[in-house]
Amino acid sequence: MRKNKKFFAALLVFSLGLFYSMRKVHADVVAPGPSGGTFISSGTLVVAGIVVLVIAILSYLLLRRIRKSSKKDANK
Amino acid sequence: MKNQSWKPVDFKSVFSNLTIYGSSHAIVDATCAAVILSLSQIHSVDLGGFFALVVLYNILAFGFQVPFGLMIDKWHIPLFSAIAGCILTAVSTIVLVFSSIIAVCLAGIGNALFHVGGGTISLNLTPKRATAPGIFVAPGALGIFVGTIIGKSGDFVSWPFVFLLLSLCVAMFMIGVPKIDYDQNNRESRQVDFHCLELVILLLLSSIAVRSLVGLAIVFPWKSDMILFITLTAAVVLGKAFGGILADKLGWISAATISLLISAPLLSFGANNPYIAIVGMFLFSITMPITLVAISNMLPGRPGFSFGLTCLALIAGALLAFTEFKFIFGNELAILTIILVSMAALFYGLLLFFKSFSFRNSKTYMKRNEGKKHAEK
């Protein structure tokens, strides 16, 4: 249980850092070329990051459930 | 749709399924790329708005394959999903003229439904093996290439895409689907040691995410030369298609690690030289079907969910490439390091995978599957 808490805490810290860096992106990322160092706001990217994180956490929890249920089946 | 006519997976069936689903994969990806890249020409979308639509499309197309995959596994509807995906993608080309956001949503959902449906079928064409999934996935890169050219040219016309997609839907319906194993508690699954299930899957998914990030972060300055760009696309397509066949012949661990080990210096230090970089991309793409099938074999009876997980890893890597990380990973040494880290993750993940099946290596695993196939015959 403690291991899981640490894992989720580390994941949360990493994700917050990542989302912070995603607030604005360099225009070159979207359209390579002479953008003159402009930045564009990327609220959608942050929302996208959160959606991916939520799906990833739910998938992880499902995988854990699969492991536990298969263990039970094996013991039967 | 539950009472589909099941057909045995003989060579003819494998060939016809792969031809239809592989072609559909290329057309679906081409349509989506053309729709996205035509947005700014048909509607007055600024750079920020265009970026938001691209991100929205990617999230729907890749992130939502996990819930759609679970849905397919639960209701056993891969054919319905593939056909619905093609139809939604076709509708997106018509809607594009009226609304950019609805077109993007339809293209994203259609793409996700097709991929996860077609992926489920391809995983069951050559069960436990990487050959069929590799051939199914490969034409996607070709489709994106063609769609990008059409979208950027400004000559996008919807009817050819609609005609092709609907024709392929009819073909999919006509050939039927192979027998798909949805049994989650079969004898095979009871023999698997699941105690490191999450770790194996995490390692394999992280190698996929790194592959996605590297693929988008590497800058090839010679890509504006059309012939070289076509050759690069062909290398990616052939790498994925032959990757599965090579891996089944040589063994998954050796094929995956050797190809990544050779591709690492070629891609990091040879990106400026087209010939070196093209060979590097060919080798780099070989691991794709291996990771997909290894994850699917770890989750028996859940092909849709397995396929969705790999696409979730792809979008996780791609999102990083949309940020400033792209420039950090544009460095030669950084690329070399992350490819080697991805290789280590894949190597350890595959080792644990074979350990969980109580096999020491992939060749023994293949031989056992061969033995089972002969016994069934």
Domain ranges of chain B: 6-178, 187-376
C-alpha distances in angstroms, B81 versus B15, B69, B73, B75, B292? 21, 9, 11, 11, 19
CB–CB contact B324 A71 (8 Å) = no
What is the per-residue pLDDT for B41?
Answer: 84
Distance CA B68, CA B109 (A): 9
Asked whether residue A1 carries a pLDDT value surpassing 80, the answer given is no
Instruction: With beta carbons under 8 A apart, name residues in chain A contacting B320.
Output: 18
Please identify which residue in the block is written with the tokens 């040879």: B270
Reading the block at residue B49, the tokens are: 């708005």
What is the per-residue pLDDT for B186?
Answer: 64
Distance CA B199, CA B159 (A): 47
Reading the block at residue A4, the tokens are: 């899981």
Residues found in chain A: 76
Distance CA B261, CA B283 (A): 9
What is the per-residue pLDDT for B5?
Answer: 42
Residue B27 contacts residue B75 (beta carbons within 8 Å): no
Instruction: With beta carbons under 8 A apart, name residues in chain A contacting B50.
Output: 30
Looking from the CA of B259 toward its CB, the CA atoms found within 13 Å total 27
Name the residue type at position B280.
Answer: G
Number of H helices, E strands in chain A: 3, 2
CA B95 to the chain's CA centroid: 26
Where exactly are the structural domains of chain A?
2-75
pLDDT in tens, A19-55: 776 776 766 665 555 555 566 666 778 888 889 989 9
Name the residue type at position B141.
Answer: A
Q: Is there a common fold for B6-178 and B187-376?
A: yes
Interface test with B, best of A45, A61, A76 (most B CBs within 10 A): A45
Minimal CA separation from A28 to chain B, in Å: 10
The residues of B whose Cβ lies within 8 A of any Cβ of A are 47-48, 50-52, 54-56, 58-59, 63-64, 66-67, 70, 185, 189-190, 192, 194-195, 197-198, 201, 299, 302, 305, 309, 312, 315-316, 319-327
- Cα angle value B213/B216/B220 (rounded, 5°): 135
CATH topology of domain B187-376: Growth Hormone; Chain: A; (1.20.1250)
pLDDT in tens, A4-15: 777 778 877 877
What does residue B28 show for φ and ψ, rounded to 5 degrees?
-60, -45
User: Which uninterrupted H or E stretch holds B75?
Assistant: helix B65-75
Minimal CA separation from B329 to chain A, in Å: 12
What is the per-residue pLDDT for B116?
Answer: 96
Instruction: With beta carbons under 8 A apart, name residues in chain B contacting A65.
Output: none
* A51 close to B (CB below 8 A): yes
How many other C-beta atoms are found inside a 10 Å radius of the C-beta of residue B330?
14
Residue B293 contacts residue B135 (beta carbons within 8 Å): no
ipTM of the complex: 0.86
Instruction: With beta carbons under 8 A apart, name residues in chain A contacting B189.
Output: 70
The highest-level CATH class for domain B6-178 is mainly alpha
What is the per-residue pLDDT for A69?
Answer: 81
Instruction: With beta carbons under 8 A apart, name residues in chain A contacting B204.
Output: none
Distance CA B209, CA B316 (A): 6
Instruction: With beta carbons under 8 A apart, name residues in chain B contacting A67.
Output: 194-195, 197-198
Minimal CA separation from A44 to chain B, in Å: 5
What is the per-residue pLDDT for A76?
Answer: 62
SS3 for B30-67, per residue? HHHHHHHHHHHHHCCCCHHHHHHHHHHHHHHHHHCHHH
- pTM to 2 decimal places: 0.89
Question: B301: left (phi > 0), else alpha (psi -120 to 50), else beta?
Answer: left
CB–CB contact B312 A41 (8 Å) = no
- Which positions ≥6 away from B367 have C-beta within 8 Å? none
Instruction: With beta carbons under 8 A apart, name residues in chain A contacting B39.
Output: none
What is the per-residue pLDDT for A38?
Answer: 61
Per-residue tens of pLDDT for chain B, all 377 residues:
343 444 456 888 899 999 999 999 999 999 999 999 998 888 888 877 888 898 899 999 999 999 999 999 999 999 999 999 999 999 999 999 999 999 999 999 999 999 999 999 999 998 889 999 999 999 999 999 999 999 988 888 999 999 999 999 999 999 978 888 887 776 565 566 667 888 899 999 999 998 898 888 888 889 889 999 999 999 999 999 999 999 999 999 999 999 999 999 999 999 999 999 999 999 999 999 999 999 998 888 899 999 999 999 999 988 888 777 777 777 888 889 999 999 999 999 999 888 876 554 556 666 665 555 555 55
Query: At how many degrees (to 10) do helices B65-75 and B78-95 cross?
Result: 140
Please tell me which of the candidates B194, B201, B323 has its beta carbon nearest to residue A70: B194
> Residue B358's closest CA among B210, B180, B193, B217?
B193
> Residue B347's closest CA among B253, B260, B265?
B253
User: Which uninterrupted H or E stretch holds B338?
Assistant: helix B332-356
Tell me how far apart the terminal alpha carbons of chain B are, to the nearest angstrom.
29
Reading the block at residue B306, the tokens are: 């397995």
Closest-CA residue of chain B to A27: B47
Q: Please give the DSSP secondary-structure letter assigned to residue B135.
A: H
Q: SS3 of A25, please?
A: strand
Please tell me which of the candidates A40, A59, A74 has its beta carbon nearest to residue B48: A40
Reading the block at residue B175, the tokens are: 């050939």
Sign of torsion over alpha carbons B94, B95, B99, B100? negative
Please identify which residue in the block is written with the tokens 């750079």: B47
Residue B104 contacts residue B57 (beta carbons within 8 Å): yes
What is the per-residue pLDDT for B256?
Answer: 93
* A23 close to B (CB below 8 A): no
What is the per-residue pLDDT for B135?
Answer: 96
CB–CB contact B312 A59 (8 Å) = yes
Distance CA B297, CA A18 (A): 32
Distance CA B15, CA B6 (A): 16
- Cα angle value B113/B119/B124 (rounded, 5°): 135
What is the per-residue pLDDT for B286?
Answer: 94
Residue B245 contacts residue B132 (beta carbons within 8 Å): no
Closest-CA residue of chain B to A62: B198
Distance CA B66, CA B69 (A): 5
Please identify which residue in the block is written with the tokens 């994180």: A53
